Structure formats: structure tokens, C-alpha cells
């Protein structure tokens, strides 16, 4: 259960939590780098919901306001693709406000929005939630504490971000059954990461067979897909521990059917065994792309449906 989910549905709450997560130095430094702010920012430099007023003129309200002795950065936060820009934002009032500060070295308005954001933003300084969340996941900063994890998990679900999971060399060697240096590997953390990939794929595939017993066991961790293909007993994806021993890769897609049915199937990159076929997705430079795994599952269903 995500303890932040109920409050993260409002953009002002997202902004406030994002600011407070910047209390953690690693999170803050990477957030500032992501915004392409090239100076050190401490937590006390970051404010939220700041009215922009100068010479009795109202320029709007800044979601995130970052101020140092030399700079002011205004970050406008949008989490819903259908939430329109305000009148002040459309008229460029944020930049007009910054233009009042002639002596500042740096003045910039930045927009942090989903990639599918519908309103038109006339700015070169647009940053996307999907890129930020993916960066945090790759750096494994979500492991710092449960609040960062819940924040990241919310956006994974809310924006349907296709995550890329990063594995260190020792984890890859452990996956392949090779000797490892145990100074930088944890079997529980590795298995949690692998299971999380399966669960994330399950959440993104539209054809999970909810009627099939999905209780996991010591032989496999995965899910059957719904299918209407004549002669096929089952389509499954996940971690087959016996197959993992042979392929040196934990993940697979499997089609279970009689040999006479399998012989009629023309699926690229599938390997045929007795009464089942399997496909092994690849790791690329120690990274595993969930999006590619989901796409391959969808392709299998599409090919079988032709």
C-alpha cells in the first residue's frame, strides 16, 4: 500500500512532497542536476507556492521557487496531462517577474510536466517527469527511504512509466550462476528487484488471466496470459527457476502446447522444446528494459492472433 497515493493526486501536494524530499542531499543534488541548475542548492533555498509580486504587480504563484544570492529559478509543476497552464503562465508573467531582477546572474523558468502534457508550452526549459523518475530508479535513490520509494511508485503507476532496471556486475554474475565478489551484492535485494520486474510487467500487460491460479511457488514466479488460441494450453511469462539454470537469464515467455501445434507457429527468437516454446529477453549493458519485455509479450499475442 502506497501511503502517499491518496494525497499525491493533487498537484500542490506533489509539489510540497517533492520539495520535502529535497531534504535528502542525494535526492536534492540529482533533482537540481536534472533541472540543469549549475550551482549548489541547499534545502533552505527551496520554497513552494510563493506569490510573485513586484511593484504592486501580481505575476502569479510559483509552484517551486529556488533562490540564492545570485539566482532565482521558478519551477512550474504539472502532474495531470489535461491541467491547463494558468493565465499568468500563458502570458509569460513568470519571466516578466524575473526581468525585474537585473543584477541576478541566473534567471530561469522551468516546466516539469508529463511527456503527454496537452497544453502548449512556449519554452525551451521543459523537463519531463518520466525522465526524472527513470533517473531516480537507475540511481536506486528510491532505496534511501520508504517516502522516496512511494513517491516514485506513484509516478510509475500514474504515468505508466516504462522502467529500466540497472544491475551491477556482481548481480549479473550471480544471475549467470558465476562466482561473485560479495562486497557489492545482496541475494535478497537481487530477488526483490527481479520479482518487482515481473510485477511491473504484469501491471502493464492487458491480458493477465485472473482466473488462473497465480499463487507463486519454488519452481516459478510469474503469470499466465488470457488467450483464445486453438490448441494452446497456456501462455506464461516470469521467472522459471529451472529454465533460468540453463539459459543464465531469469526471465522468459513460454507457450505451452502439443508439438503438432508448436510446429505450426512461426515466432522469431523462440526456442522450441518438448511441448513448449520459450523466448528469453536480453539484458543490455547490465540494464533490463521493462518496456521491451512488455512489447515482446504484446507481439506474441498479436502474432498468435493472426
* pLDDT per residue as tens digits for the range 275-306: 899 999 989 888 898 888 988 898 888 888 74
Same domain for 105 and 180?
A: no
Residue 282 lies in a domain: yes
Read off the pLDDT band of 12 (50, 70, 90).
confident
Same domain for 174 and 145?
A: no
State the average pLDDT over residues 234-243.
94
Which domain covers residue 199, as residue numbers? 165-304
Inter-residue contact 109 to 98 (CB < 8 Å)? yes
pLDDT 10s digits, 244-266: 999 999 999 999 999 988 888 88
Query: Percent of the chain at pLDDT above 70?
Result: 92
Domain count, the chain: 2
Same domain for 98 and 149?
A: yes
Same domain for 180 and 138?
A: no
Query: Percent of the chain at pLDDT above 90?
Result: 43
Same domain for 78 and 136?
A: yes
Same domain for 293 and 194?
A: yes
pLDDT averaged over the chain? 87
**How many beta carbons lie within 10 A of that of residue 89, not counting itself?**
22
Same domain for 122 and 184?
A: no
What order of strands is seen across the sheet that includes strand 276-279?
220-225, 232-240, 251-257, 276-279, 271-273
Domain final residue, candidates 133, 153, 173: 153
Sign of dihedral through CA atoms 10, 14, 16, 17? positive
Nearest-Å Rg of the Cα atoms of the chain is 24
Same domain for 126 and 182?
A: no
pTM over 0.85: no
**Closest alpha carbon to 187 in 133, 250, 132, 137:** 250
pLDDT at residue 1, rounded to an integer: 55
Amino acid at each position: 500500500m502506497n501511503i502517499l497515493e491518496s494525497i499525491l493526486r493533487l498537484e500542490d501536494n506533489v509539489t510540497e512532497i517533492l520539495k520535502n524530499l529535497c531534504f535528502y542531499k542525494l535526492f536534492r543534488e540529482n533533482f537540481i542536476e536534472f533541472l540543469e541548475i549549475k550551482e549548489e542548492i541547499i534545502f533552505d533555498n527551496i520554497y513552494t507556492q510563493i506569490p510573485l509580486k513586484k511593484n504592486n504587480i501580481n505575476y502569479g504563484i510559483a509552484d517551486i521557487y529556488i533562490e540564492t544570492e545570485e539566482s532565482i529559478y521558478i519551477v512550474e509543476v504539472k502532474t495531470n496531462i489535461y491541467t491547463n497552464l494558468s493565465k499568468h503562465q500563458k502570458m509569460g508573467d513568470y519571466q516578466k517577474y524575473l526581468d525585474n531582477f537585473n543584477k541576478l546572474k541566473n534567471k530561469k523558468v522551468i516546466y516539469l510536466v508529463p511527456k503527454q502534457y496537452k497544453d502548449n508550452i512556449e519554452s525551451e526549459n521543459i523537463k519531463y517527469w518520466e525522465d526524472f523518475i527513470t533517473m531516480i530508479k537507475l540511481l536506486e535513490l528510491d532505496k534511501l527511504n520508504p517516502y522516496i520509494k512511494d513517491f516514485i511508485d506513484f509516478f510509475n503507476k500514474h504515468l505508466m512509466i516504462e522502467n529500466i532496471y540497472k544491475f551491477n556486475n556482481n548481480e549479473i554474475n550471480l544471475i549467470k550462476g558465476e562466482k561473485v565478489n560479495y562486497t557489492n551484492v545482496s541475494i535478497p535485494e537481487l530477488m526483490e528487484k527481479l520479482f518487482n520486474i515481473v510485477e511491473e510487467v504484469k501491471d502493464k500487460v492487458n491480458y493477465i488471466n485472473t482466473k488462473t491460479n497465480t499463487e507463486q511457488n519454488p519452481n516459478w514466479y510469474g503469470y499466465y496470459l488470457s488467450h483464445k488460441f486453438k490448441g494452446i494450453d497456456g501462455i506464461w511469462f516470469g521467472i522459471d527457476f529451472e529454465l533460468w539454470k540453463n539459459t543464465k537469464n531469469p526471465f522468459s515467455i513460454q507457450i505451452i502446447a502439443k508439438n503438432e501445434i508448436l510446429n505450426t507457429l512461426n515466432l522469431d527468437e523462440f526456442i522450441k522444446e518438448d511441448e513448449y516454446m520459450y523466448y528469453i529477453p536480453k539484458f543490455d549493458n547490465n540494464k533490463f528494459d521493462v518496456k521491451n519485455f512488455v512489447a515482446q509479450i504484446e507481439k506474441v499475442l498479436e502474432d498468435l492472433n493472426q
